[in-house]
Amino acid sequence: MQLEEYFADNEGFIYYVTSERDETLKYLVACDYDDGWWCGCDDHYYRKHECKHIRAVKEHLQEKCPKIYLKSKNMKTFAEIQTEKSTGAC
């Protein structure tokens, strides 16, 4: 799985992660410090959990960018945050 940093600022970052099955397919993985993690893959969309693409970006950050990793490692996914808001858990 290849990762390519696309964008980063004080509000979060975006990576492209290449599919393991199809090298021509890239998934957008984003982390917004207010809204959490998000990935464009079907696994993340339908199951609303942390997919392998998000985990790959976290592993990369842990190794290459420890300060950003520490800031983002325990953040929930966007879907988890939205579910909590809709159920009144927040």
Domain range for 58: 3-87
What integer pLDDT is reported at residue 87 of this predicted model? 66
Over residues 50-74, the mean pLDDT reads 89
For the stretch 16-42, pLDDT in tens is 999 999 999 999 999 998 889 999 999
How many structural domains are present in the chain?
A: 1
What integer pLDDT is reported at residue 89 of this predicted model? 54
Split at pLDDT 50, 70, 90, the class of 88 is low
What integer pLDDT is reported at residue 13 of this predicted model? 92
- How far, in Å, CA of 62 to CA of 64, rounded? 6
Nearest Cα to 15, choosing from 34, 39, 36?
Answer: 39
Residues 6 or more apart in contact with residue 74 via CB below 8 angstroms: none
Burial of 69 (0-12, 13-18, 19+ CB in 10 A): middle
Of 38-52, 59-73, 76-90, which range is least confident?
Answer: 76-90
